[in-house]
Amino acid sequence: MLPSETPKTRDVGARAAGSKPIRIIENGYKDRVKDFWQGRSEVYDVNNSFHPPLCAHLVGLANPFPGSAVLDIATGTGSVAFAAADAVGPSGRVVGVDITDTMLQQAQAKADALAATNVEFQLADAEAVSFPEQSFDFILCSNGMAYLQNVPAAKFGVAPEDAGAALGSEARIRAALGAAGFKSIEVSASKEVKVFEDTTPEKFAESIFGMMERFPAAPLSQLLCQQQISELRADYMIAAVPQAETMPRRDGGIVNEFVMLWAVATV
Ligand SMILES: C[S@@+](CC[C@H](N)C(=O)[O-])C[C@H]1O[C@@H](n2cnc3c(N)ncnc32)[C@H](O)[C@@H]1O
């Protein structure tokens, strides 16, 4: 949380039987996160060949058994939730939680189209959500940790203000999860590729700068004045465009190769 922000909470009700009321923490940061994802909800699934395979990989690692209960944190449009719903089958249960209503609307539309009976979605801040003990056999989170602030620090001993600093290597993940009391920690790495289609080195660098400019954890517009942002963009382009020119190309796009780290542990 930013120092000047005082959290206020509000009940949004709870749909899971026996669970405590769900609270949404209201402060500037959370609103920026919601704005950021509200702006992406309708396009998130369009030609998205990036997230669904990662979600499927995560579900494969966790390997939820038929009849089990799964919580999907930061479910977004539900990629993890639906893959988990397939794995747990009709006697299982999947709950997807997300802070952004419009992401959940996309997820719910998919659930309606599938007439899925074993998956439900709840609007909630994952850092304030509360379920009775032992509600779930598996808790999954794909591409969501970077947006969370307090829970891992408070509850799991992981300080994610700079998620990369706490979790950006296998050794750091092991140390953080071990210190927090998790057992049977397994960390694996996969080589991933994200193709930025129909782009040039200039457009690619612009889009990366645009993401950094709007990223809710530290939007440049809150930190710098317009003049400073313009100067920073110019410096960034001078450094980034030549680098982008050396990146692999595929079908008119630019290929970004990176390593993804995966952690599976038990409590
Ligand atoms: C990159 S999307 C990931 C969606 C999905 N897990 C996937 O991998 O396709 C990040 C999601 O995190 C959600 N999110 C961010 N902060 C959250 C919070 N505090 N509680 C619940 N969801 C949150 C956003 O609304 C967004 O839907």
**The three-state (H, E, C) secondary structure of the chain, written as one string:** CCCCCCCEEEECCCCCCCCCCCEEEECHHHHHHHHHHHCCHHHHCCCCCCHHHHHHHHHHHHCCCCCCEEEEECCCCCHHHHHHHHHHCCCCEEEEEECCHHHHHHHHHHHHHHCCCCEEEEECCCCCCCCCCCCCCEEEECCCHHHCCCHHHHHHCCCCCCHHHHHCCHHHHHHHHHHCCCEEEEEEEEEEEEEECCCCHHHHHHHHHHHHHHCCCCCHHHHCCHHHHHHHHHHHHHHHHHHHHCCCEECCEEEEEEEEEEEEEEC
- Please list the ranges in the chain whose pLDDT falls under 70: 1-27, 149-167, 217-218
Predicted local distance difference test score (pLDDT) of residue 166: 55
Predicted local distance difference test score (pLDDT) of residue 12: 35
CA of 231 to the centre of ligand 1 (A): 31
CA of 124 to the centre of ligand 1 (A): 11
**Ligand 1 site, CB within 6 A:** 33, 37, 51, 55, 74-76, 79-80, 97-100, 103, 125-127, 142-144, 147-148
Nearest to 93 by CA among 127, 135, 131: 135
pLDDT digits (tens, 9 = 90+) for 213-226: 877 766 777 777 88
Predicted structure pTM score: 0.73
Tracing tokens 């060949």 back to the chain, one arrives at 49
Burial classification of residue 259, based on how many CB atoms lie within 10 Å of its CB (0-12 exposed, 13-18 middle, 19 or more buried): exposed
> What CATH number should be reported for the domain whose range is 8-149?
3.40.50.150
162-197 burial, b at 16+ Cβ within 10 Å, e below that, comes to ebeebbeebebbbbbbeeeebeebebeeeeeeebbe
CA of 251 to the centre of ligand 1 (A): 30
Predicted local distance difference test score (pLDDT) of residue 258: 84
Predicted local distance difference test score (pLDDT) of residue 232: 86
- Locate the domains of the chain by residue range: 8-149, 198-250
Ligand 1: which of 50, 54, 75 to mutate, most ligand atoms within 8 Å of CB? Answer: 75
CA of 234 to the centre of ligand 1 (A): 31
Closest atom of ligand 1 relative to the 34 alpha carbon: 25
pLDDT digits (tens, 9 = 90+) for 3-15: 333 434 433 333 3
